[in-house]
Structure 1
Amino acid sequence: MSSPQQHRWDVDQIVAYRLPPYPPFDLPPLPRISDPALEEIIDSNVSTELRSLRLDKDLFVMDGPDQKSFEELHTVGFALIEAIATTWAHDRYRHFRQGEANLVRSHMIRKSSLSQLTVRYNLHTRINFDPNVSVWSEVDIGRIQAEVFEAYIGALYYSLLGTIHTATNNGEKSKEVEDGHEDTSLSSTEEHFIVPTTLEMDRFINYELQREKKRISISHIRPIKEELKRFPIPDSWERADELAKGSKTLLDITSVREGLVYTYVQVGSWVNTPWKVGCKVVDVDGREWTAEATRMTKKKAENMAAWRICVEMGLIAEDD
């Protein structure tokens, strides 16, 4: 049985896991951005490692307060994608909890996944890289590709808001419809692509996450610990320990040349592991005396080892 810390570590590995490339399932067509100004923001954005910000009052902003920026578009776009994925997960997993469904949702909206969608929709061709930056890592490119997809979704949102605002305020159709252009909202023929595509992504992500979980669990299998037994305490110890009481003190006050030396070690693998204590003393004549004793506590083992030396040295009788 894994510990909570081990389980948390395994979950962290699953969260950090990078999915392989998506299989070639069909994607729904992207709606067209009706506002040329919003589309121009995407096309004219230059990706750099560090974007320069200017201070406006108490806020760091990219442009004037009334202007849309690429950063705003991809921030709003990601929020919309996250909201859609969360809502979909609630519908897909009726008993949504912090678990499998949340992992799938997280992998659906992470940068490495969105960057694949960017390439599938050919949006990566609209990325302008700063020529002054000579080295772009795979992570940098993936992040920038994901931001372009997010910005496109954000531009669609603002574009749709503008269309609704125009139709509502003027009491007439939007300019796009007046000009004979198609409506930019998702048509019923496009909607039927969304659910099958989402389900395909879900199945793919679920399958890969289960494979990774199995790989992690196999790589961290620990040998089953042998169940420890209790050390069998002999009945004779209780009476012997009564006889040995005070023997350590007696040996301490006996005239010795080099004093007492005790050694301690736990013996065996038991639930209640006993202590083995060794005792050595050198008397005034230079004779060395040694003894050992095993007990459940150090104090009792010390007394018993000292008692045995005291008996050998003739300081006390064996039956005293």
Structure 2
Amino acid sequence: MESLSISPKPLLVPSELTLPPLPKIYDETILRKVFTHSSFIGRPKYSIDLFEDEDEGRDNEKLELLGDNLLDCAVLGLLQDLYPNLNVGNSTKLKSALVNNTTLRELSKRYRLHERLVAPPEQLPTLMNGDKVLANLFEAYIAGVFYSYLKHGPTSPNPTPTEALPTPPRSPNQHTPPLPSTYTAVGEGSSRLSRGQAIDHLDLWLRPLFQPIAESMLSQLKAEQLSRQLLVDTEDDDTDRKAQGANARLNQWFIFKEGGQPSYASSNAGLQGWKTLCTAVDRDGKSWYGEATRSTKKAAQAVAAYKVIKQFEQERPDFTA
């Protein structure tokens, strides 16, 4: 049974969080692209072209797309390692809270990434405070670290790769060169820098960053569930059983006896499921209300109707539904 008065609260990044060091991006071209907002390039918002020209590809939108997926992979792997027995529903809620725009904006601000944003001066104040812009910036930085590692390795600011990292073709007719398997980073000799190694390199940053946030958010979830349960325990445990079919009984009475039909307004209540308000107007013009929150819309409607019936029975002796 669900509580009727506790609303799900947003899961917050702990204020006392200690950030691990921000990994460096050694490639200057990638670094510029990470911090360049699309408004600075002035790319057309809509285009029928399948491929961008070189100038149009200088902002961070494509990096953000990759960073978003790399972050999802890292966080899901972390949650599986931390909480292998956490059920799918709560794993999904926790993962969504960890990677949503509000959380990533907060991390972007704490790393002061917003201070390096490149955009038209007149738009900067607005962009530097936007949830989505700063969340995208954080994801673009993740992709920037990924590509910088592939190209230069983890530490060398002056790489000498044996082959240039291939650039995707700008038209379907261009040949895609084979992916290189070996790079040489200055001072480290020959080493194989694979995409798997780049993901491992990201994990050295992302796991220490997101583990304490995940632990804090799970504690917040537990506290919220406990609060709901304390309120639920005060309700009549038999309410849901008694409410079965209540909306059908109420509807039938009002259609045939009151000259109208009850209305049901339902809305998603987040962690609580569905919230329904039942409103019934009798033949004298008096309005009756019942409200309930349950895990399904059908159950919420039945309990809301049952609450109207209980009120109606007290004032209308002729009510026999």
TM-score when scaled to structure 2? 0.52
Change (3 A) 1:46 1:192: closer
Q: Please tell me whether Structure 1 or Structure 2 has the larger radius of gyration of its CA atoms.
A: 1
The 5 Å alignment of 1:1-320 reads 1-2=1-2, 14=8, 17-45=9-37, 52-57=44-49, 59=50, 63-64=53-54, 67=57, 69-128=59-118, 130-132=120-122, 136=126, 141-163=130-152, 166-167=161-162, 173-174=184-185, 195=207, 197-216=209-228, 223-224=235-236
Equivalent residue for 1:259? none
User: 1:92, CA displacement in angstroms?
Assistant: 1.6
> Aligned equivalents of 2:103 and 2:89: distance in 1?
19
Q: Contact 1:62–1:69 at 8 Å: present in 2 too?
A: no
Distance 2:44 2:86 in 1: 41
8 A contact 2:108–2:135 mirrored in 1: yes
Q: Which amino acid aligns with 1:206?
A: L
Q: CA deviation at 1:26?
A: 2.0
Measure, in 2, the Cα distance between the counterparts of 1:85 and 1:97: 16
Q: 1:193 to 1:156 in 2, by over 3 A?
A: closer
> Residues 97 and 103 of structure 2 are in contact (CA less than 8 Å); yes or no, is this contact kept in structure 1?
yes
Of 24-33 and 124-133, the range deviating more from structure 2: 124-133
CA contact (8 A) 1:73 1:154 kept: yes
2:56 and 2:150 map into 1 onto residues whose CA distance is: 16
Q: What secondary structure does 1:37 align onto?
A: helix
User: 1:118 is aligned with what amino acid?
Assistant: S
Q: Is the 8 A contact 1:63 1:69 kept in 2?
A: no
Change (3 A) 1:203 1:221: same
> Cα 1:29–1:157, aligned 2, differ >3 Å: closer, same or farther?
same
CA distance in 2 between partners of 1:153 and 1:109 (Å): 13
How many Å apart are 1:71 and its aligned residue?
0.5
What is the CA RMSD across the aligned residues, in angstroms?
4.7
Q: How many pairs align?
A: 217
The answer to whether the 8 Å contact 2:74/2:207 transfers is no
The worse-fitting range, judged by mean Cα deviation, of 150-159 and 202-211 is 202-211
CA deviations 1:42-72 (Å, max 9, x no partner) are 3332558x97425243x4x665499454100
**CA-CA distance at 1:189 after TM superposition:** 12
**Following the alignment from structure 1 to structure 2, what is the Cα–Cα distance between the partners of residues 33 and 153?**
10
Distance 1:36 1:135 in 2: 25
Distance 1:56 1:176 in 2: 47
Preserved contact between residue 104 and residue 205 of structure 1 (Cα < 8 Å): yes
Deviation at 1:90?
Answer: 1.5
Distance 1:31 1:135, change over 3 A: closer
Q: Secondary structure at the residue paired with 2:35?
A: helix
- % of aligned pairs identical? 19
Mark the runs of 5 or more structure 2 residues left unpaired by the alignment: 154-159, 164-179, 190-196, 243-308, 311-316
**3-state SS of 2:15 partner:** coil
Mark the runs of 5 or more structure 1 residues left unpaired by the alignment: 179-184, 229-267, 270-275, 278-295, 298-320
The higher relative CO (CA closer than 8 Å, separation ≥ 6) is in 2
Aligned mates of 1:32, 1:74 — CA distance in 2: 17
What's the CA shift for 1:221? 7.4
